[in-house]
């Protein structure tokens, strides 16, 4: 079997990694910070045009993937991520809850599927996965979501090699583990783990044959160089993440970043467009912070290369645009939801 055929069989997502990039589209893993900064700082309309040109060459259909994200275990996390309302040490009003029951999660997945979602993401507020009954329940959730014909994604914290393999065996399509920010800015946001912890988990996910969902958050007080270095770190991995969520900070009262100003649309568009140019075959996901954006801003992000949305009332513990609003926006713009990928 060829490498391309093997990649096609093992990948469950909608990115085009299994096929060679179209002529004229460069896939690189050796970006320098100055190059990334030069792209990010281009005149905005020129930057969006370049990103849109790359986007149309790779993703020829005018479609976006709809993803649904459910917090299957909320609050009580021992980490100190400065942006996160689920950290136990911050008084944010988020109540710690136990892991949801499998039937409850699969009922939510079924509703998301009926609403048009092709990817169902499950997030647990853990520092790391613990072997035992809870992890066994997560494996059962993964199997159940896949049985519904959906991609199954999970974000559970740090993973061991054996846990990654078990998730793969259960059918997990993708694992989300964001780098959050640049290596240089990381220590200002989180002190309870180091950057290499995140990179090691990503390596275990990749080695297990699970597609990687990895992005970051802008608006946490980082510099433009930090923003560009995050994208550079993602793009210089041996394999680009199949999925790159771009989040705008949702400042939550009670967290250390509560007073950060709202991310400007232009900054979000620049980040998405640069991600599209650096990682042309990845699904770039417009993620947290969308509730603070008007319709025109969201459409500009899609023009800049975002081809996936999280929809539903909540994105973990923060608000997200209503489903009906999302569908009305896509219909007005003539953008169609991506259908489930036929496997086998």
DSSP H or E run through 268: helix 265-278
- What local confidence, expressed as pLDDT, does residue 322 receive? 63
Cβ atoms of residues 293 and 268 within 8 Å:
yes
**Is 121 a known ligand-binding residue?**
yes
Select which of 146, 166, 198, 213 is catalytic.
213
Mean pLDDT of the chain: 86
User: Does position 196 have pLDDT exceeding 60, yes or no?
Assistant: yes
- What local confidence, expressed as pLDDT, does residue 341 receive? 56
- What local confidence, expressed as pLDDT, does residue 24 receive? 83
Select which of 50, 113, 119, 121 is catalytic.
121
**pLDDT band per the 50, 70, 90 thresholds, residue 2:** very low
**Is 285 a known ligand-binding residue?**
yes
- What local confidence, expressed as pLDDT, does residue 23 receive? 84
Torsion of CA 321, 322, 324, 325, to 10 degrees: -30
Residues above pLDDT 70, as percent of the chain: 89
Q: How close are the terminal C-alpha atoms of the chain, in Å?
A: 15
Mean pLDDT of 259-276: 95
**Is 301 a known ligand-binding residue?**
no
pLDDT tens, 11-47? 344 444 556 888 889 899 999 999 999 999 999 999 9
- What local confidence, expressed as pLDDT, does residue 13 receive? 45
- What local confidence, expressed as pLDDT, does residue 344 receive? 34
Cβ atoms of residues 285 and 67 within 8 Å:
yes
Whether 67 is catalytic is no
Select which of 81, 214, 228, 301 is catalytic.
81
Residue showing tokens 């560009």: 228
**Is 228 a known ligand-binding residue?**
no
**pLDDT band per the 50, 70, 90 thresholds, residue 118:** confident
Select which of 204, 276, 285, 290 is catalytic.
285
Sign of CA dihedral 146, 150, 151, 153: negative
pLDDT tens, 274-298? 999 999 999 998 887 777 888 899 8
- What local confidence, expressed as pLDDT, does residue 16 receive? 46
Whether 228 is catalytic is no
- What local confidence, expressed as pLDDT, does residue 17 receive? 52
**pLDDT band per the 50, 70, 90 thresholds, residue 101:** very high
Mean pLDDT of 54-77: 85
Stronger pLDDT, 9 or 102, i.e. the higher one: 102
pLDDT tens, 290-331? 778 888 998 999 999 999 887 754 433 444 456 677 778 888
Residues above pLDDT 90, as percent of the chain: 57
pLDDT tens, 210-231? 999 999 999 999 999 999 999 9
Task: Give CA–CA dist 64/291, Å, rounded.
Answer: 18
Select which of 50, 67, 84, 146 is catalytic.
84
């Amino acid at each position: 079997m060829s490498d391309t055929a093997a990649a096609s069989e093992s990948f469950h997502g909608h990115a085009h990694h299994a096929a060679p990039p179209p002529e004229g589209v460069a896939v690189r893993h050796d970006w320098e910070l100055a190059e990334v900064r030069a792209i990010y700082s281009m005149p905005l309309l020129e930057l969006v045009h370049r990103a849109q040109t790359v986007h149309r060459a790779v993703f020829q259909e005018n479609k976006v993937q709809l993803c649904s994200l459910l917090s299957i275990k909320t609050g009580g996390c021992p980490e100190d991520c400065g942006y996160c309302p689920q950290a136990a040490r911050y008084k944010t009003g988020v109540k710690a809850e136990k892991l949801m029951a499998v039937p409850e999660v699969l009922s939510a997945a079924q509703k998301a599927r009926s609403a048009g979602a092709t990817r169902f993401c499950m997030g647990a507020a853990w520092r790391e996965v613990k072997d035992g009954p809870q992890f066994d329940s997560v494996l059962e959730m993964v199997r159940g979501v896949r049985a519904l014909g959906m991609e199954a994604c999970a974000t559970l914290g740090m993973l061991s090699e054996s846990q990654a393999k078990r998730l793969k065996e259960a059918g997990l399509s993708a694992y989300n583990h964001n780098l959050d920010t640049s290596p240089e800015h990381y220590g200002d946001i989180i002190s309870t783990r180091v950057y290499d912890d995140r990179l090691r988990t990503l390596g275990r996910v990749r080695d297990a044959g699970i597609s990687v969902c990895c992005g970051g958050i802008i608006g946490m007080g980082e510099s433009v160089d930090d923003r560009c270095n995050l994208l550079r770190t993602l793009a210089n991995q041996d394999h680009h993440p199949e999925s790159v969520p771009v989040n705008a900070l949702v400042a939550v009262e009670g967290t250390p970043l509560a007073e950060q100003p709202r991310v400007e649309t232009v900054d979000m568009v620049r980040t998405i467009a640069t991600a599209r140019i650096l990682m042309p075959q990845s699904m770039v996901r417009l993620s947290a912070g969308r509730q603070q954006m008007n319709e025109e801003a969201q459409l500009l992000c899609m023009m800049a290369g975002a081809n996936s949305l999280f929809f539903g009332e909540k994105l973990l513990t923060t608000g997200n645009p209503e489903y009906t609003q999302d569908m009305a926006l896509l219909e007005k713009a003539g953008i169609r939801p991506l259908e489930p990928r036929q496997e086998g």
